[in-house]
Amino acid sequence: MKLLTLNTHSWQEEDQYQKLDIVAQAVIAQGCDVIALQEVNQHSLSGIISDQILSNHPVRKDNYGYLLQQKLAQLGHHYQLTWDFVHQSYDVYQEGLAFLTRLPIVERRVIDLNDNYDESDWKHRRAVRITVAYQHQHIDFYNCHCGWWNDQESPFEDHLNRITATLSSRLSFLLGDFNNPSHVRDQGYDYALQCNLKDCFVLAQSKDNGTTVVKNIDGWQQNSQALRLDYIFVNQPVIVPQHQVIFNGDFYDVVSDHFGVICTINLIN
């Protein structure tokens, strides 16, 4: 099984359509089974599509996830799309979380990560869980875009607690932009490990340095070092033959202010 996570920073990128093509080509060439995308934006005034998509909100014609799904279909590869609205972004955009998968989706759940949820508050966040059928079992996948450890209004610890409270005994993967660097001790990354999550980067038999951010970006304006912020966590031991950073200029061109992560998982029946 191949998993991919990417914070797309969509419609904030130059040459956005060209970068969309790069993502589509990579998904096909790498044979991705489940793709978790964060910062999947659509303009709040663009037209609404009529296609049947699993969503908590109307999906619009310029929705990045929808355009990626359509591009993949044009190339002969059919993925089911989910898109769920999280909050308003950059004044005119509706930001959300998208899954694309070629595995059958049997259930979907949107998880509010803040009390008194306010979609106009950019610090209010949601996670999305889908359950898919794979090799005669059900597997849960979570799409996560969490806050910062030291944020008083909307802290990472609260977000992760709400996510992990919904974990079942099923095999579960948590993919996304967790906004907590792996090298900082006693903060978000270590807290995730204390919550009995296992980092697929650590489990991997083959891997690179894992860096997914290399400059100052939105939310990390003062950053000047290489960071590992984007993860694939799992709640049970699994075999991970390979964990690799993608869209970093070496393995496919850069398409966002984050690099992505692609991971191969071997599941034993």
Give how many domains the chain has, as a whole number.
1
Instruction: Give whole-number Cα distances, 47 to 60, 62, 142, 152, in Å.
Output: 5, 8, 28, 37
Residue 213: which domain range?
Answer: 2-266
Name the region of 87 (left: φ>0; alpha: ψ -120 to 50; beta: rest): beta
CATH number, residue 90: 3.60.10.10
Q: Are strands 137-145 and 198-199 parallel, antiparallel or unpaired?
A: unpaired
Strand partners, 93: 43, 89
172, 166 contact by CB (below 8 A): no
Distance CA 260, CA 212 (A): 6
Distance CA 201, CA 230 (A): 10
Name the region of 209 (left: φ>0; alpha: ψ -120 to 50; beta: rest): alpha
Q: Is the pLDDT of residue 224 over 80?
A: no
**47 DSSP assignment:** P
Model confidence pLDDT, tens digit, residues 188-197: 999 999 999 9
**60 DSSP assignment:** B
Q: What is the pLDDT of residue 268?
A: 74
Reported as a pLDDT band with limits 50, 70 and 90, residue 226 is confident
Lowest mean pLDDT segment, chosen from 44-48, 109-113, 212-216: 212-216
Phi, psi of 24 (to 5 degrees): -60, -45
